[in-house]
């Protein structure tokens, strides 16, 4: 990837972030999968910084989302670290891949639940890219809009001073709808993955971190994500976030 830098009018080549054997293994496997999933349009990768920590915050509509998000980050010459449910680490082969690629397990509703956030913050401080789906699961909104999100994304963003990049997916649910058990790869469909400009959190930094602040920052971040989804869909976003039922 070429970026501005060096002598005036010159471009410099930014080296790809090293990922090791398992990242290379996944690239060989997932690039063809991304092609088979549909006609994927990757937009806005220039918003992901070529070096240093960054949080990619995305909506979640299909189990295919991590594939195309990961490819988007990799196409920007970075290595994605996903926060993902810890049950994936207990699956044969997949667990080995998750460990080998440095992914971050999320232990929901346990004493270790906060450990995933601490690990994510540590990775950001090491200059890594962390991808998070703040809704915690695939949206239950029948129309596919983002649900009300968990506040972990705000904790990570306020604990570090790294760019927060909104990401929108659209089209993946047309290929694979996990809730309704529908897999429809043909005819090939259009899928869009779009990054937006970094979200400015400067007005929130330095304030005492409490539940009210975390909720406000989370909603502000997810509003940017929702607006980006609206741009991709070409239709107005709803005024409020969908709320999942207590059950």
Four-point Cα dihedral 9, 12, 13, 19, nearest 10: -140
Q: Quick one: 194 exposed, middle or buried, by C-beta within 10 A (0-12, 13-18, 19+)?
A: buried
Q: Look at residue 14 and tell me if it is in a domain.
A: no
Total number of domains constituting the chain: 1
Q: Look at residue 28 and tell me if it is in a domain.
A: no
- Maximum Cα interatomic distance, the chain, rounded to a whole number of Å: 60
Tell whether the model's pLDDT for residue 243 goes beyond 60. Answer: yes
Beta bridge partners of 40: 191
Average pLDDT, the chain: 88
136: left (phi over 0), alpha (psi -120 to 50) or beta: left
| pTM > 0.85 | yes
DSSP string, 66-83: HHHHHHHHHHTT--EEEE
The pLDDT score that the predictor gives to residue 236 is 96
Tell whether the model's pLDDT for residue 13 goes beyond 60. Answer: no
The pLDDT score that the predictor gives to residue 73 is 96
Is 97 strand, coil or helix?
helix
The span from the CA of 148 to the CA of 135, in Å, is 6
The span from the CA of 183 to the CA of 177, in Å, is 6
pLDDT band at 7 (very low <50, low <70, confident <90, very high): very low
Q: Look at residue 170 and tell me if it is in a domain.
A: yes
Identify the CATH number of the domain in which residue 183 sits. Answer: 3.40.1130.10
Domain that holds residue 143: 40-233
Q: Is residue 204 within a helix (H) or strand (E), and if so which, with residue range?
A: none
- Model pLDDT for residues 79-135, shown as the tens digit of each residue: 999 988 777 777 777 777 777 777 888 877 666 668 888 999 999 999 999 999 999
The pLDDT score that the predictor gives to residue 244 is 79
Q: Look at residue 163 and tell me if it is in a domain.
A: yes
Beta bridge partners of 85: 106
Q: Look at residue 226 and tell me if it is in a domain.
A: yes
DSSP state letter for 147: B
Tell whether the model's pLDDT for residue 2 goes beyond 70. Answer: no
Q: Look at residue 243 and tell me if it is in a domain.
A: no
Q: Look at residue 247 and tell me if it is in a domain.
A: no
């Amino acid at each position: 990837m070429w970026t501005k830098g060096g002598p005036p009018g010159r471009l410099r080549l930014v080296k790809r972030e090293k990922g090791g054997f398992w990242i290379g293994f996944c690239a060989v496997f997932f690039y063809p999968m991304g092609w088979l999933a549909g006609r994927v349009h990757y937009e806005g990768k220039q918003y992901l910084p070529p070096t240093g920590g960054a949080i990619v915050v995305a909506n979640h509509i299909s189990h295919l989302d991590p594939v195309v998000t990961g490819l988007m980050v990799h196409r920007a010459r970075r290595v994605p670290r996903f926060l993902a449910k810890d049950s994936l680490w207990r699956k044969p082969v997949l667990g080995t891949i998750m460990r080998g690629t440095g992914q971050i397990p999320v232990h929901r509703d346990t004493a270790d639940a906060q450990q995933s956030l601490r690990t994510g913050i540590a990775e950001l401080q090491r200059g890594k890219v962390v991808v998070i789906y703040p809704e915690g699961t695939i949206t239950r909104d029948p129309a596919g809009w983002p649900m009300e999100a968990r506040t972990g994304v705000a904790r990570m963003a306020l604990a570090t001073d790294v760019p927060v990049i909104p990401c929108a997916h659209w089209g993946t649910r047309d290929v694979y709808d996990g809730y309704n058990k529908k897999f429809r790869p043909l005819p090939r469909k259009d899928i869009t993955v779009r990054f937006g400009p970094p979200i400015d959190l400067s007005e929130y930094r330095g304030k005492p971190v409490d539940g009210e602040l975390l909720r406000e920052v989370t909603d502000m971040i997810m509003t940017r994500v929702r607006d980006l989804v609206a741009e991709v869909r070409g239709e107005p976003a709803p005024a409020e976030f969908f709320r999942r039922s207590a059950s």
